[in-house]
Amino acid sequence: MKKIILIWLTVTYSLFANEPSVYGAGDLDSSNPYGLTSSEKHILKNSDKVKDLAQGVGSVKIKLNQINENYEGLRSVTEAFGSKIAKIDKKIYDMQEKERAQDQSLVSLQEELGTLKTYVNESRALQDANQEKIKLVLGELSSLIDSINNSYVSKDSFNKLEAQVSALLVVKKAAKISTKSGSILLKEGTKLFNKKSYSEAKIRFSQLVEKNYKPARSNFYLGEIAYFQKSYSKAIEHYKKSISLYDKASYMPTLLYHTGISFSKLKKSVQAKQFFDALKQGYPNSKEAKSLK
């Protein structure tokens, strides 16, 4: 009995050693499956198809990703071109608006130019008409003047007559005011001088000189009147007379200053310098002396 069991074990071992193990049969995950049933074979076949399909799907996904990347790149380029096109459209629009505004300005300028041309032509026509009228009036005035000169007196005679009348009026005024007191004449003369009514003031100061009422002051004012009337030689005469009578008056800085200027106007610089030096030495703090620095 033991001998039979040993033989059976030996045979069984040999069978398992020379043939594939029955324990691996039906393994679908094996790289080389065997012992499959018809259902398992069908499953294995479908599994292979699924793997092939998965591989195909993977390839499609890769291609789809590539297509998406290309699409995104194209979209970026398209958007960039769209932005540039929008900017170009904006520039074109602005240029068109500017051109339209320029056209309107040109129309306005042309209208204004037309108006100005019309105004110039009308003004020129009016000026020509006025020129003719002026010539006519001047001709009539010239004829009238000639008629007056022939019928009445010449211009020179008229000027002499006018001077005589003026002198006569001055004499009459002097005679009229001669009855006034010296203080009143001085007050009136000073007031008229400050108002720059030099002719009227001169009559009163001349009367004061004749009356010998404050002759130094009166000669000073007569010198001032001559100075402001630009009669510089006459001004110097009165200034000299005034300073010879009284050289301590409050108006002395003005007298010296205007005497120097009068000599300068007469192109006598040496005499002018003498009076300017006397002003600076005698009245250094006066505004007249300071103006010479």
Q: What percent of the chain is helix, strand and coil (3-state, nearest 5)?
A: 85, 0, 15
pLDDT in tens, 131-186: 676 666 667 666 666 665 655 555 565 555 555 545 555 555 555 677 888 899 99
**169 vs 28, 93, 164, 165, 199, CA distance in Å?**
156, 87, 9, 6, 12
Residuewise pLDDT in 10s, the chain (293 residues):
544 545 444 444 444 444 444 445 555 556 666 666 777 666 666 666 666 666 766 776 787 777 777 767 777 777 777 777 888 878 888 888 888 888 787 787 788 777 777 766 776 776 677 667 666 666 766 666 666 565 555 556 555 555 554 555 555 555 567 788 889 999 999 999 999 999 999 999 999 999 999 999 999 999 999 999 999 999 999 999 999 999 999 999 999 999 999 999 999 999 999 999 999 999 999 999 999 97
Ranges of each domain in the chain: 86-152, 166-291
Query: CA dist 233 to 230, 272, 292, Å?
Result: 9, 13, 22
Q: In whole angstroms, what is the distance from residue 152 CA to residue 144 CA?
A: 12
Q: What is the pLDDT of residue 293?
A: 72
Provide the 10 A C-beta neighbour count for residue 274.
15
Nearest by Cα to 261 from 252, 271, 251: 271
Distance of alpha carbon 173 from its chain centroid, rounded? 60
Give the pLDDT score at 38: 72
- Could you tell me the fold of the domain covering 166-291? 1.25.40
Which residue is associated with the tokens 């001559």? 226
Full DSSP string of 268-292: -HHHHHHHHHHHHHH-TTSHHHHHT
For the segment 244-259, what is each residue's pLDDT rounded down to a tens digit?
A: 999 999 999 999 999 9
Look at the block and give the residue holding tokens 């002026």.
Answer: 134
Which positions ≥6 away from 177 have C-beta within 8 Å?
185, 188, 203, 204, 207
Collapsed DSSP state (helix, strand, coil) of residue 47: helix
Q: DSSP label at 153? A: -
Token couple for 13: 């071992």
- Round to whole Å and give the CA distance between 111 and 103: 12
pLDDT for the residue 137: 62
Q: What is the pLDDT of residue 13?
A: 44
User: What is the rounded CA–CA span in Å between residue 244 and residue 234?
Assistant: 16
Q: Cα(277)–Cα(82) distance, rounded to whole angstroms?
A: 91
What three-state secondary structure class fits 293?
Answer: coil
Cα distance between residue 94 and residue 88, in whole Å: 10
What's the distance, Cα to Cα, between the start and end of the chain in Å? 165
